[in-house]
Every structure is written in structure tokens, then in C-alpha cells.
Amino acid sequence: MRKHFSSRVLGAKRSAIRELLKLAERPEIISFSGGFPDPETFPHEEFAEIAAEEIRDNYRDVLQYSTTEGSKTFRRGVSGWLKEQGIEASIDEILVTTASQQGLDLICKAFVDPADVIFCGLPTYLGAIQAFTLFQATKIGIPLEDDGMNLDVLEEEIGAARRGGKVLKGIYVIPDFQNPSGITMSLKKRERLLEIARREDLLIFEDNPYGHLRFSGEPIRSIYSLDDEGRVIMLVTFSKTLAAGLRLAVMLARGDAMDALVRVKQATDLCTSKLIQRLAARYIERYRFDLHLAEISRTYRRKKEAMIRALERYMPAEDGIRWTDPDGGLFVWMWLPEGIDTEEMLDRAIEEKVAYVPGAATHVDGGGANTLRLAFSLASEEDIDEGIRRLAEVVKREIAAKKREGVAT
Amino acid sequence: MRKHFSSRVLGAKRSAIRELLKLAERPEIISFSGGFPDPETFPHEEFAEIAAEEIRDNYRDVLQYSTTEGSKTFRRGVSGWLKEQGIEASIDEILVTTASQQGLDLICKAFVDPADVIFCGLPTYLGAIQAFTLFQATKIGIPLEDDGMNLDVLEEEIGAARRGGKVLKGIYVIPDFQNPSGITMSLKKRERLLEIARREDLLIFEDNPYGHLRFSGEPIRSIYSLDDEGRVIMLVTFSKTLAAGLRLAVMLARGDAMDALVRVKQATDLCTSKLIQRLAARYIERYRFDLHLAEISRTYRRKKEAMIRALERYMPAEDGIRWTDPDGGLFVWMWLPEGIDTEEMLDRAIEEKVAYVPGAATHVDGGGANTLRLAFSLASEEDIDEGIRRLAEVVKREIAAKKREGVAT
């Protein structure tokens, strides 16, 4: 059978997170691994009511095929909602996708030939790495600083790739509370990133799954809204703001780019479920989405604070141990002393009944062995405290073992 | 922007059907174009009840991410349902997909490198052509006979492609009530097709969207159930048997093939909506799916009979005019005299307020200009009669015009 495999699938690996999710399903494990939203944030009473009503009264419509672009009712609702946040996107600039992972798939299909270059963060979202890898892109990682991607390094890497004769396609960024680092890109850097993209004629793929889950600081304008050339393609998923099980997102793009994306979407899955689109559309129409977002942001703030408190309380005061303190989103990012391998350490953590995502999987340069991602979204505040306590024990033992090894060798 | 497009998107065109669907939306047009199921066949009362219940009682589960393979509850239900029809597929041999168009996308991702050969019917499903084209496959069309693909021609074409140094990957077939032709492949041909695939070491991609919508004749074994080598990958959508708006299908595959398909599914959209999977699972669990299928098959039988009656009544008795009379599915296929171009004729048909799919779009060899597809699934029996009457008038005028042209030149 393997001789029939495409070259793209021979180059793709199973995801580490995916195998982890299986472990994390065991009830005795406190899992900080998968980026699962807290199910208590899903507006289920409202959805139950809307679903019954729409299926009963509008079944001829909602159970039928949708257009490839998506339901006009839904896109109109999204357009209005985005406008409140300073993002101008007409219905024609909105393509409904089967969640944002599909958005990444469509971007690759529309723009990426094998060996084309995509620049991305070090670290960056694992699912994006998987999509880019499947389409055989050359992924060049750019280190992150406290205010986002290091743009000096980006410019150097662009120059080096050009000199290497590569076809450069775009830059993939998650400006707000990045996955996995929790880092937010400053306005200044967003503006400069756009300037670089203009000068170098690159596209920007702006992924925004968490932007509406801000719990401190002021919102920063999206790169999409700074752009007047149609150079930025933006992904806005409802997986975290409404419910992951909807598999619903939108993709903002203009002109020819939108035309290409619609064509590849059609060959990919014809259309996204109209029932699902209508659930979200009616919710946005009838309820105060802004209040819902404010409420779930408070939930995640409490959980983040519980995690930071626990980290401060339990983690050893060792050189090289530090973590981010994000203004939103679902993740805290953590560095351990050089020499610790968080992939190897995971076995011990699982034994101690706590799980996380080893950072190496989120680094396209093979680095990040001493880093890890902690999702604070799913566990209760009590479990966050206990889970971090367990993790700190594992970390302490790991450091002690490394020190012994150091003496022994 | 176009300079950024991938080579695959530069080679893909917008679908003719897709543009047609827009026209067909105008209420004054009787449309036989899109393969839309009759919405009265959607079990909406049951879905409304299940949706409300599942969202209210199991929101923590159904509104959360699913595993990439799909919900076990749903796959267990599907496995049992398939068994009743002589198809043995364990849970591990079932991958849930976001409808069967995604199944085709995953097949291409897992198996097709640019220029690899896929054999398919002349004509074949337009969406499959689009998927294969997007992945830059070489599509070789094999003429259909009354009992399915002409396997002598297939063997010749396999030989020719091998001599041409091509990499041969597989054969795409829709054995039951094929889209667009309505033709069913005989058991004898299914067995011989599998033998050819074995001898030539090719995969078979068996697409079965309509197999459960049989309204006359006896069911014929699927190629998947004849295969004991894991050489056949089967797609079974619920778009026609439950509701198109669910965007739900399963893909049957074994061993390494399943492993590859799961990996590419993960990078494609992570998972299919668990809410949607659960709707279908509970429906299969609680209700008599077999009786539902028998009932909707009767609906389509009545509509097919109305269409055949109208064709017999209105179409001119002209050499070269004929049509298929399918035992199931949604489509009648029609030939007009050589020299008539159904793509050009469509303008006149739309003027007369009737629509169909021109056959050329479903031919990978550039042929089929004088053919067309008539979907009897959506229109009422009255509209079928009136629509075919209108179409017959258009055809008569077209033939008369061609005859005048013939005299004039």
C-alpha cells in the first residue's frame, strides 16, 4: 500500500498532540495539553432552542446544500459583528469555512506549490505546521520576542531565501495571544510587518482564533484592517467563541484571492453545513455576542490567574525557568533550563498524572526541546493548582537528574 | 495577486454546475440541474428532537472537538448498519468525513502526486473531476456501457498509460446509479474490475452516494465487500439518505491506507462536527433507517417515472435522442443528436425557464457536447412534466435550427 502513497503523505507525521489527546482522555490525568475550550462557555441552552426551531421550521433550507461561499444570513451577521470591532468586510469578502484548519488547507491549495516559502513564528500553531508540511512548503521559523515576531530576523531570512532562489509566498502570524506562546504582537510590529510584506510582495496569513478572548490590556487593530491592498487573508474561527464542535469559521479575503479560495473550497467539501451556519447566525442575531465574549473572557482570566499563581507557588526558583503571562487566549508558554527535553519528560509527567504539549512539535527548526505549552482552558481552577503542583515535582526531579548526570559525565 | 497563485489553482476552473445553481435559484425556473435531494425526504422532526436533546444534555461532549477518526458512537452505528447490507467494516475501518467531497480530497492528498493517473467514467461526477484536477492528476476517461465501465477499453488504456511511463494510481467508480449517467455496474464487471486492479496493482475508489436509493432491481454487492486485500476505498455519504446539510459521510479503508487518510484528515479540518455525527448516530439508533430509505426510494421512483413518462410524451422521435432509465439514484442521462451543443443550448433553455447540466462538464476527454444530465430529485411531479415539456420545445427548435444550418452551408 505504501508504494501508492503520495510524496506529500510520505513526508507527513502523525501529530504529537493528537496522540496526547488520547492519553489526556484518561480521567485521572489533569490535562493542560489540548487547546480545548471550556464546554461551560458554549451557549448550549440557546443553541438547543435555535437548533430545534431551525430544523423544524426551515428544514427545507438548513438541511439542504449551502452555496460554497456560505449562507448570506450568516455572512451578513458576521460582517456586522466584525464592523463593531473595526474590521470592514462586506459579504463578498467573507468565505465560510469548516473551521479555521480548513482555512489553512485552502490557503495552501490556493497559494502554495511544493518548496514555496512560508515564514512563521518560532514557535507556531502545530496545525498550521501540519497543513504547510502536507503541501510541502518550506517553513522558515522566525523567533518571537515579547511583542511578537522578531522582524529584523524576518528581513534577514527573507533576504537569505531570495538569494537562495526560493519562491516566497507569505507570512503566517497569530497576532493575538499566539498559539502556543500566548504572545501578542504590538501595533508597531503589525504595521512594520505589513510594510515588509508590501515591499517584498508577500501575503500575510493572519490567524485570529483568540482575539476575542482578551482579558487584560487594550485590543490592537488586526493586520487585515490595516491593509488596503488585499494582501492579508484573515481567519476567524468560532471554535473558541461559540463552540469547537460547530466546526465553523470565516475567512476574509478580497478580489482574486477570494475567487481562488472559493474555487478550491468547492473542490474540497462543496460547502459548510448550513444548519451549523444558521445556528451561529441566529445566535449572533438574537443574543448579545459581546456580553457572551466578555463573560467567557472572564472565565479564562480566572483560569489563567490560577495557573500563574500555581506556577509562582510551585515551580522551583531555578535559572532558565520562566513563563509567559498572556493578556488573553488559552495558553501559557514555559521555558525550562537548557538540556531538559520536554518530550522525554512527558512520560514522567503522565506517570504523575499531568499532561502538556512539548514545545518541539511547535518549532519548525527542530528547536524548542526545553519548552512546553500549558493550556489553562479546560481544567478547573482546583485542577490547575493540583496539576501545576504535580508538574513542578516532575520538573524538580528532572533538573536534579540532569545535575546528577552533569556530575557523572 | 495571480502571481501568488499555486500552479494547481491556475489549472482549476469554476464549476459550470455551480454557476448554474445560481440561475436555478430563480423561482420561475424549473431546475433539473443540481443534484439536490428532495427536502421532504429529510427526517426533520426526528432531527429537531435529537438536536435539542443532545445539545441540552450532552453539550460538554457534542459541542467539543471530536477525534479525527470520528465519534465512536456514530462509527459503531454505521458499522452495524453496513453489516445489514453485507459490508463488513469494523470501527477502525471507518473514517468520518465532512461529506464525500472531502473523501475525494483526502484520497487525492493521500495518494495522488501531480501527473499520476486516475481512470474514471466517461461521463463521471463533476466534483470528482474538480478534486482530481486540483491535485493535478492525469484523468483518463473510460466509456460507459449499459452495465458500467467498458473494461476492455480500461485494459487498453492501462496498457497505453504504462507504456507512456505514467504512474497509475487508481480507478474511480460510482457503481450504483452513477452520477451523471444513472448507469449501474453489473456484478460480473465489479468482479472483473477488481481482478484488473489486483493484476495491475491499482487502487479502486468506490463512491456510493446513491446505492441506498434503489427503486427497482436487486441490490448488487459493493466492490469493497468483494475485496480482501484492502485495495478498495469506499465513500458512503449521508447527503442523500439523511440530509445534504449535515455534510456527513464515512470512508471505508483498511490498514496503512486508513492510517494515511487519518493523518491527512487531521491536517485538513482536524475533525468533523461531533454534533452532526451525533444527530446521525441517534437517528440510526432510534429509528428504522431501513424503512426511511425504502420510503425515500419510493419518492424518487415516482419522480423518475414522471420524468420518463414526460420524456416519452414530449421528446421528438428523432434519431440520436435517447435517455437512461435508472434503477435508483437521482439522475436521468440524455443524448441528443450529434452536432447539438448542450452548453450552447442552455441559454435557450434558461430563457424557456428550464435548466439541466450540460454533459461536457462531466467528460474528462472534452467529449459529451450532445449530452445532458436531468436530476429528477428536487422538482415536483407536476414541475417535472412541465419542465420536460419546455425542454422538448427547446430541443425541437435546436434540431430545426441545425437542419437549416445544414441546408445553408
Contact B62 A18 (CB under 8 A): no
Chain A environment of B6 (Cβ under 8 Å): 108-113, 116
Residue of A nearest to B114 (CA): A6
Q: Does residue A172 contact residue A119 with C-beta atoms inside 8 Å? A: yes
- In tens, the pLDDT along A200-236 reads 999 999 999 999 999 999 999 999 999 999 999 999 9
A221 three-class SS:
coil
Nearest alpha-carbon partner for B101 in B75, B78, B130, B141: B130
d(CA A130, CA B197): 32
Contact call for B244 and A64, based on CB within 8 A: yes
pLDDT of A1 reads: 85
Claim to verify: residue A343 and residue A353 sit in the same structural domain: yes
Section B8-33 average pLDDT: 76
Q: Positive or negative CA dihedral for A177, A132, A5, A110?
A: positive
- Chain A contacts of B361, Cβ < 8 Å? none
Sign of CA dihedral A394, A399, A402, A403: negative
User: What's residue B157's pLDDT?
Assistant: 98
The cell for B393 is 420545445
CATH number of the domain bearing residue B142:
3.40.640.10
How distant, in Å, are the alpha carbons of A299, B134, B167, B234, B392 from that of A3?
50, 22, 11, 20, 51
B229 assigned to some structural domain: yes
> Measured between CB atoms, which of A61, A62, A263 is closest to B14?
A263
Please identify, among A287, A305, A337, the residue that sits at the C-terminal boundary of a domain: A287
Alpha-carbon distance B86 to nearest alpha carbon in chain A (angstroms): 25
**What integer is the mean pLDDT of B293-301?**
97
Cβ atoms of B237 and B248 closer than 8 Å: yes
Q: What is the rounded radius of gyration, in angstroms, for the C-alpha atoms of chain B?
A: 22
pLDDT at B323 over 60: yes
Instruction: Give how many domains chain B has, as a whole number.
Output: 2
Indicate whether B93 and B219 sit together in one domain.
yes
Handedness of CA A340, A341, A345, A346 (dihedral sign): positive
Give the CATH number, domain containing residue B388. 3.90.1150.10
Q: At what angle do helices A381-408 and A342-351 cross, to 10 degrees?
A: 120
Q: Which of B98, B106, B61, B111 is nearest to B267 (CA)?
A: B106
Mean pLDDT of chain B: 95
Q: Is the peptide bond preceding residue A180 cis, with omega within 30 degrees of 0?
A: yes
Q: Is the pLDDT of residue B408 over 60?
A: no
What tens digit of pLDDT does each residue of A256-297 get? 999 999 999 999 999 999 999 999 999 999 999 999 999 999
Pairing state of beta strands B322-323 and B331-335? antiparallel
Within 8 A by CB and 6+ apart from A380, the residues are none
Please check whether residues A193 and A278 belong to one and the same domain. yes
**Subunit contact B68:A18, Cβ cutoff 8 A:** yes
Interchain proximity A7–B113, CB inside 8 Å: yes
Q: Do A110 and B60 touch (CB under 8 A)?
A: no
Q: What is the pLDDT of residue B2?
A: 87
Smallest Cβ–Cβ distance between A60 and the set B39, B60, B65 belongs to B39
Q: Hey, what's the cell of A218?
A: 487594550
Do B54 and B198 sit in the same domain of this protein? yes
Closest Cα in chain B, distance from residue A322 (Å): 30
Q: Are residues A142 and A178 in the same domain?
A: yes
Best of B17, B64, B231, B238 to disrupt the A interface (most A CBs within 10 Å) is B64
**Do both B97 and B139 map to the same domain?**
yes
User: Is B256 in Cβ contact with A2 (below 8 Å)?
Assistant: yes
Task: Examine the fold and report which residue of B287, B309, B338 is the final residue of a domain before the chain moves on.
Answer: B287
pLDDT at B142: 98
pLDDT recorded at residue B12: 72
Number of A/B CB contacts below 8 angstroms equals 243
Q: Are residues B283 and B295 in the same domain?
A: no
Residues A57 and A193 grouped into a single domain: yes
Tell me, yes or no, whether A6 and A125 share the same domain: no
- With an 8 Å Cβ cutoff, are A111 and B263 in contact? no
Q: Distance between CA B131 and CA B2 in Å, rounded?
A: 21
The 8-class DSSP code of residue B26 comes to: S
Mean pLDDT across A81-90: 94
Predicted local distance difference test score (pLDDT) of residue A11: 78
Distances (CA, A) of A141 to A117, A366, B12: 10, 10, 31
**A290-311: b or e for each residue (b if 16 or more CB lie within 10 Å)?**
eebbeebbebbbebbbbbbebb
Q: Which three cell numbers stand for residue B227?
A: 475485496
% residues pLDDT > 90 (chain A): 91
Give the max Cα distance, chain A: 74
Q: How many residues does chain B have?
A: 409
Q: What is the mean pLDDT of residues A147-169?
A: 98
The single-letter DSSP state of residue B27 is: T
Within a domain: residue B240?
yes
pLDDT tens profile A8-20: 988 776 666 566 6
Distance CA B276, CA B260 (A): 24
| Domain end among A271, A287, A303 | A287
Question: Residue B409 domain-assigned?
Answer: no
Closest-CA distance of chain A to residue B8, Å: 7
Give yes or no for residue A129 having a pLDDT over 90: yes
**Nearest CB partner across the interface for B266, out of A18, A63, A170:** A18
Domain identity same for A235 and A264? yes
| β-sheet bridge partners, residue A233 | A205
Say how far apart CA A313 and CA A382 lie, in whole Å: 14
Q: φ and ψ at A121, to 5 degrees?
A: -70, 155
Q: Which residue of B has its CA nearest to A69?
A: B18
Q: Name every chain A residue with its beta carbon within 8 A of the beta carbon of B113.
A: 6-8
Distance CA B95, CA B106 (A): 11
ipTM over 0.90: yes
Between CA A131 and CA A380, with CA A249 as vertex, the angle to 5 degrees is 90
Q: Which of A247, A278, A283, A380 to mutate to test the interface with B (most CBs of B within 10 A)?
A: A247
Is a pLDDT exceeding 90 seen at residue A253?
A: yes
Domain that holds residue B133: 44-287
Give the model confidence (pLDDT) of B158-199 as tens digits.
999 999 999 999 999 999 999 999 999 999 999 999 999 999
Cell (9 digits) for A10 = 510520505
Give yes or no for a contact between A208 and A176, defined as CB atoms under 8 angstroms apart.
Answer: yes
Is the model's pLDDT at A374 over the cut of 70? yes
Are residues B35 and B106 both part of a single domain? Answer: no
Q: Are residues B323 and B196 in the same domain?
A: no
